């Protein structure tokens, strides 16, 4: 299906097919309303040969009914459920972004791995959505929802940096019309909990185990339980003790290890009590260890990673201009590269700016402050240079502008000062010589004993200053 020829499906227009699964297909679609109203959304539609399968249809209806009751920023929202021409569909929120599987694969391909802080943040957001689903009630009755398929392919990361959980298609809930048979296993094997793999009773801690597997894999860049066959994978899930993430990734702090490993305990009683407790512990670690929150945001990362798909570049995307790398030369001629946060410059005055230019240029061992322009001169930063390591000083823009103007005035005065004094001295000398010549012309021939020498027709006088010597030649007839 091409964008030029959208397909009519009930009240919706199907613009393009996003994905094709074994049981359903997914389309990017839109719906129009009065006064030019239009809304983008996604249509999940059962494949034709499954429309007559009563068991599958009931499961599809269960998913729609269940997910429609979940309204949370970290869960993809359901807007509509119906049947058109004998084919059931779900209309859901259109998320502009990529699933976590695509994000991890693209980051590995480009060599731009998620930072530890970004991995933790994604887990925090997923935990929020899971806790909401696990504790959701309907008319005062708990729904006892368990997702049972918490995997990277069911987590969306938007281009704006939001994280959303989707696809409750095999979720377990108390009010479902279809019940899983005893001992039946549903879900992706490598992310199953031991109790789920054994077909035992499950609760929200099963989803917590899967989230722990995801976080472990994001931090290490490796698969945890996956093996060559499902049998070997299940065996790893049941028996293998995961190594600490810090043992495989030097950038991962050791104090994060126990938080992750507690999620991966084989016994559900030894895991975190619920997703909220896990998310709270991750949040405490995040704000205790992350210094530059702006730098760890997912939005700039997603724009860099998928710049080609978004049709932007590092220079053209305004969001990527929020942080700029600036290279300048210090007093020794060495290049110094610093990164300046635009929002931080515009919104916070974190230090007092020093005078941008001293009376004399500082030696290489001392720090001087140089004012440089960022982008279109709208954002400025004071950068200390002339030292072995330069640190970035973020200051208020208005203070920097005033400092720049003050520095320019000081520089002009400094350059003008020697020549001004030289002109004054010369004027005094010339005036004195002229006066003396007039007086000598009245009293007698001029006495040239105090002069450095006399050429024919000229009187020569020498003036010594601090840095230079000047000679004044006065003609005899001028006297």
Same domain, 460 and 350: no
Residue 422 located in a structural domain: yes
Residue 319 located in a structural domain: no
Q: What is the pLDDT of residues 273-312, one digit of tens each?
A: 999 999 999 999 999 999 999 999 999 999 999 998 888 6
Residue 338 located in a structural domain: yes
Same domain, 178 and 267: yes
Q: What is the pLDDT of residues 38-89, one digit of tens each?
A: 899 999 998 888 888 888 788 888 777 877 889 999 999 989 988 998 888 9
Q: Looking at 99, 149, 207, 274, which residue is catalytic?
A: 149
Residue 292 located in a structural domain: yes
Same domain, 135 and 274: yes
Looking at the structure of the chain, the number of domains it has is 4
Among 45, 65, 93, the domain-final residue is: 93
Is residue 149 part of the annotated active site? The answer reads yes
Query: What CATH number is attached to the domain comprising 45?
Result: 3.30.200.20
> How far is CA 90 from each of CA 41, 82, 132, 257, 311, rounded to the nearest angstrom?
10, 7, 21, 40, 30
Same domain, 407 and 426: no
When mean pLDDT is compared across 19-23, 114-118, 123-127, 327-331, the lowest value belongs to: 327-331
Query: Which structure tokens are listed for 332?
Result: 């020794």
Same domain, 244 and 219: yes
Among 62, 93, 124, the domain-final residue is: 93
d(CA 16, CA 1): 5
Q: What range defines the domain where residue 275 resides?
A: 97-301
Q: What is the pLDDT of residues 428-475, one digit of tens each?
A: 888 887 887 777 765 555 554 444 444 455 455 555 544 455 455 555
Beta strands 78-84 and 38-46, pairing class: unpaired
Among 69, 93, 117, the domain-final residue is: 93
> Looking at the whole model, is its pTM more than 0.75?
no
Burial label for 209, CB within 10 Å (0-12, 13-18, 19+), is buried
Q: Which of 202, 266, 211, 214 is nearest to 240 (CA)?
A: 266
Q: What is the pLDDT of residues 77-131, one digit of tens each?
A: 989 988 998 888 999 999 999 999 999 999 999 999 999 999 999 999 999 999 9
Task: Give residue 460's pLDDT.
Answer: 54
Residue 2 located in a structural domain: no
Residue 379 located in a structural domain: yes
């Amino acid at each position: 299906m091409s964008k030029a020829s959208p397909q009519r499906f009930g009240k919706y227009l199907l613009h393009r097919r996003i994905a094709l699964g074994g049981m359903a297909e997914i389309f990017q679609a839109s719906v129009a309303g009065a006064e030019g109203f239009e809304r983008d959304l996604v249509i999940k539609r059962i494949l034709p040969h499954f429309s007559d399968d009563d068991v599958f249809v009931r499961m599809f209806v269960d998913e729609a009914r269940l997910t429609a009751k979940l309204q949370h920023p970290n869960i993809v929202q359901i807007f509509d459920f119906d049947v058109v021409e004998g084919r059931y569909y779900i209309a859901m929120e259109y998320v502009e972004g990529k699933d976590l599987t695509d994000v991890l694969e693209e980051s590995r391909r480009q060599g731009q791995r998620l930072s530890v802080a970004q991995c933790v943040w994604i887990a925090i957001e997923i935990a929020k959505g899971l806790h909401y689903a696990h504790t959701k009630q309907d008319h005062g009755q708990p729904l006892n929802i368990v997702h049972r398929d918490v995997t990277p392919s069911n987590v969306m990361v938007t281009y704006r940096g939001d994280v959303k959980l989707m696809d409750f298609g095999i979720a377990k809930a108390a009010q479902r019309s279809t019940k899983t048979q005893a001992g039946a296993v549903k879900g992706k094997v490598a992310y199953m909990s031991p109790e789920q793999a054994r077909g035992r009773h499950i609760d929200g801690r099963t989803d917590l185990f899967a989230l722990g597997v995801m976080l472990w894999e994001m931090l290490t860049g490796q698969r945890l339980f996956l093996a060559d066959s499902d049998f070997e994978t299940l065996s790893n899930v049941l028996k293998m003790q995961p190594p600490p993430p810090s043992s495989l990734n030097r950038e991962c702090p050791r104090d994060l290890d126990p938080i992750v490993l507690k999620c991966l305990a084989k016994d559900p009683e030894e895991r975190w009590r619920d997703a909220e407790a896990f998310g709270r512990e991750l949040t405490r670690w995040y704000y205790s260890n992350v210094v530059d929150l702006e730098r760890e945001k997912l939005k700039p990362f997603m724009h860099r990673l998928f710049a080609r798909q978004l049709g932007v570049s590092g220079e053209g995307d305004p969001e990527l201009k929020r942080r700029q790398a600036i290279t300048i030369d210090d007093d020794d001629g060495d290049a110094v590269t610093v990164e300046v946060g635009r929002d931080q410059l515009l919104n916070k005055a974190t230090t007092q700016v020093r005078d941008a230019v001293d009376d004399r240029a500082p030696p290489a061992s001392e720090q001087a402050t140089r004012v440089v322009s960022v982008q279109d001169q709208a954002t400025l930063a004071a950068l200390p240079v002339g030292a072995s390591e330069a640190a970035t000083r973020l200051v208020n823009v208005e203070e920097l502008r005033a400092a720049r103007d003050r520095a320019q005035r000081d520089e002009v005065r400094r350059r003008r000062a020697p020549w001004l004094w030289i002109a004054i001295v010369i004027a005094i000398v010339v005036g004195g010589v002229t006066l003396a010549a007039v007086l000598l012309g009245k009293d007698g021939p001029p006495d040239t004993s105090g002069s450095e020498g006399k050429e024919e027709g000229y009187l020569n006088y020498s003036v010594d200053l601090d840095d230079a010597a000047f000679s004044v030649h006065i003609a005899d007839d001028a006297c």
